[in-house]
Structure 1
């Protein structure tokens, strides 16, 4: 994935600059979406959601362009190595072990009786144990569930959400700044008008 990031990120930065937006905030958010394990449709929906904040038209063209570039930058899966050698070695191993596996031991009559007695005693014990324990014991807590994949996915979701919130905050701040600038312009305009009006008197 490192090769994909190396080729893709500079392209994405240029793309976002051409769209006149903050490549730092939106770039990390878009990369997070693309690196996730979502389906292409889910990625497309997420990208459309982001780009709706940036562009007014040609959104689907921009989304397709980003997805196509990402696909072209992703490293191609290596072709599986020929398994003929492994198969041959496995066949040889099986042949060498075959004689040992096929020889069966013949039990004497006495050994057979002892064996049957042990088996019947064991089956009675296990039947009694099952009767006594109708409720299944909880699984051992010694085994801890491996949550690596879900932890990574949760961290990626959290990063995307954080980037989305940052983008939203920046958008709102930019909007406030624009409104303040507009208000200042209006105030300056009004001052100039009143100053001109006073001069005329």
Structure 2
């Protein structure tokens, strides 16, 4: 089913800058809202329940899976992450554009369920730069960084299945590219016909 609102799904390997780019995009675009995912992991740093994630126990998470409450879910780095189907659909039915930050597994699941979703993959400019970004975080152990670099090799290969790829070498350029994708999606014929129906009627492109 196609909804009035658009769904943008952004994925990337850990350290590529996905969260920072999405946060900056939301500050620039008042028409976009972010969907808060559920996770079984503990909060990190200043993260708060209901802001970055809904933090729940592994048992609570699996119960939601059994009830079919998630649009998609996946295990990433040993933790469970999932997206509430009802929350997203309610927003899109109202015409809101929603952006999701999830891993590639969840993104591909959503594309199967909702083919109109726009999938965007964020790439680092190089392996060395990705590793340096993980180190600069300062809160990740050496063995964890090594595991994430190993996982990134597989994750980056999945970019071929996405609609758009943004290379985050220079943050400002990557943000411009991300914003351009959102704007272009809104200018597609189907979106314009749906959201600017008064113009289309005036031009006899829609019959009353």
TM-score (normalizing by structure 2)? 0.26
In terms of fraction of residues, the more strand-rich structure is 2
Which structure has the larger Rg?
1
In terms of fraction of residues, the more helix-rich structure is 1
